[in-house]
Amino acid sequence: MKKIACLLLALVMLFGLIACTPKDPAANTPKETDPPKPEETTAAPVETTEAPIDYTDVEFEISWWGSDARHEQTIKIVEEFEKLYPGLKVTISYAGYGDHFSALNTRAVGNDLPDVFQMDISKLDFWAKSGQLLCLDDMIADGSIDYTNMAPAYTDGGLIDGKMYGEVCGVNAYCMFYDTKLLEDNGIKLSTNPTYSEFFAVAKEVYEKTGVKAEVNAGWIRNLEMYLRSLGADQMNADNTQLGMTAQQLVDFWTMFADAYKTGALVMPGDFEVTNAEAIAANHVWYVASQTSSLAGFETTAGRSLGITTYPEADNRTQAATYMRPAMLWSASANTEHPELVAAWMDFYANSTVVYDISGTDRGVPISSEIRTYLEANATDADIRVNEFLDYLAEEGNSSLLPAPTPDGYGTFQTRVLETDEQIKYDLLKPEDFLATAEAIIAEGNAEIAAKAAAAAAG
């Protein structure tokens, strides 16, 4: 009896061990740590959609970040892609934004990056310069990735030092959403491109009439960025080596907000702990920061129609602050074993209407003019408003150039901006100390950027 029990137990443990082996044994085999191969000779332009080659044993992985809705859509898109390659079974992985990049970092160390993965413009510079990304120039040049319908303005977001390291999925713009009905019901108007004076006046009026607040603060780096850009400055200077703002500009920015916080019209710490969209639904806020690609999702969660404005800009503005940027990109691992499938995926994603039948503009407004025309026929109301806003931006003088990605080390300054805002909100930092603080954090930020640049040069 004991012997049978022992045998059974051993068998159970053995099965457990087998069940725990990864689905993809080849994914664990170490790849060589060679310098990045910018391109491999693609397996001949035989890779048409009618390729009779059997892909059953091919291991190809695609990884992305997003919400549940996006995950479901992307899985369907991958299935459509698989139909073009008989026997192909793409391994997929997805996570939230932070986890996605944490996982990519870990896998990069093990030389085990997915073949294709979602990339964010803020991290493209870092990843491209570390040699982990496949350069797409040759595949574009020989037509494996068909960019005949792409205007450079739409695809240039993927360029680093003149080389293409990511395919732009779609473009969008940073913008603000507001509760149209709340403002209409109270007879309040908000222009599409407000100044801070106009915005603060509107916020105060909304708060006094309805008690609903605006989610705008001095800690969110985007607010600072748009403020500076409208004055002709920016987060970084022209050659991206030092911070691009003066201490006085920071002081003016904080002074503006310090006064506004006192009116109670802006969201303060601890006011609510839900997402912005949920907060709109619960009538806690009427004005939130977001980007155009999120409009549809926001409206669904918020349960109401939302209007779009640009970020508020400085009263003494000299130019438009908003810019069109890649919502996200597809990048490929420099060590991929299937560059031809990478090209096929990029081409499929950019040019196939079925992708946009499934996901619409969830990843931004498509880069292909053909697809944009195709979508106009079936555009939802939200899409139409987004397109109107982007058209408004595309008009002369309503938007400006995409800035270069902020360099390594910028995060320190960003953290200090957030911390200073907290101190202002808790009334721990007085206006007379703003100048000293501004000078201190600019100096600290510059030192950190210089240190990181020196380390990169030495390493």
Partner 1 sequence: MVKNSIDKRVNTRGRTQSPRAKTNLSGYMFLTPWLIGFFVFTVFSFCYSLYLSFTDYNVLTPPRWISIQNYVEMFQDPDFWHSFKVTCKFALVQVPVKLFFQLLVAVLLSRATKFMRVIRTCFYVPSLVGGGVAVALVWGRIWSNNGAINQILESIGLPTVKWLADPNVALYILILLGVWQFGSGMLIFLAAIRDVPKNLLEAAAIDGASKTRSFWKITFPMITSSVFFNLVNGIIGSMQAFSSAYLITGGGPLKSTLYFGLLQYRTAFQSYEMGMASAMAWFMLLVIVALTAVVFKSNGAWVYYQDEM
- Complex with partner 1: residue 279 or 382, whichever CB lies closer: 279
Choose among 63, 57, 115, 117: nearest CA to 86. 57
109 binds partner 1 (CB under 8 A): yes
CB 118 within 8 A of CB 103: no
Applying CB under 8 A, what is the total number of residues that bind partner 1? 27
Amino acid at 295: L
Complex with partner 1: residue 357 or 419, whichever CB lies closer: 419
User: Residue 306 is which amino acid?
Assistant: L
Q: Is the dihedral of CA 23, 90, 31, 109 positive or negative?
A: negative
SS3 state at 329: strand
Residue whose CB is less far from partner 1, 183 or 265: 265
- Could you tell me which stretch among 62-70, 81-89, 208-216, 270-278 binds partner 1 (CB under 8 A)? 270-278
- Residue 446 near partner 1 by CB under 8 A: no
User: How many Å apart are CA 191 and CA 209, to the nearest integer?
Assistant: 19
- C-alpha–C-alpha distance, residues 294 and 302, integer Å: 12
Q: Is 374 in the site for partner 1 (CB under 8 A)?
A: no
Q: What share of the chain is helix, strand, coil (3-state, %, to 5)?
A: 50, 15, 35
**What secondary structure letter does DSSP report for 403?**
P
Residues 333, 114 contacting (CB under 8 angstroms): yes
Report, in Å, the least distance between residue 102 CB and partner 1: 5
Q: Does 240 bind partner 1 (CB under 8 A)?
A: no
Q: Name the residue nearer to partner 1 (CB basis): 6 or 268.
A: 268
| 421-427-430 Cα angle (round to 5) | 85
Residues 114-143 interacting with partner 1 (rule: CB under 8 A) = 126-127, 130-132
271 is an interface residue for partner 1 by CB under 8 A:
yes
Q: Give the amino acid at 148.
A: T
Describe the crossing of helices 247-263 and 410-425 by its angle, rounded to 10 degrees. 30
Residue 428 touching partner 1 (CB under 8 A): yes
User: Is residue 423 close enough to count as binding partner 1 by CB under 8 A?
Assistant: yes
Structure tokens at 454: 């020196």
392 counts as binding partner 1 under rule CB under 8 A: no
Q: Does 198 bind partner 1 (CB under 8 A)?
A: no
226 versus 429: smaller Cβ distance to partner 1: 429
97 binds partner 1 (CB under 8 A): no
Stretch that binds partner 1, among 154-162, 193-201, 269-277, 372-380 (CB under 8 A): 269-277
For binding to partner 1 (CB under 8 A), which residues are involved? 98, 102, 105, 108-109, 126-127, 130-132, 268-273, 408, 411-412, 419, 422-423, 426, 428, 455, 458-459
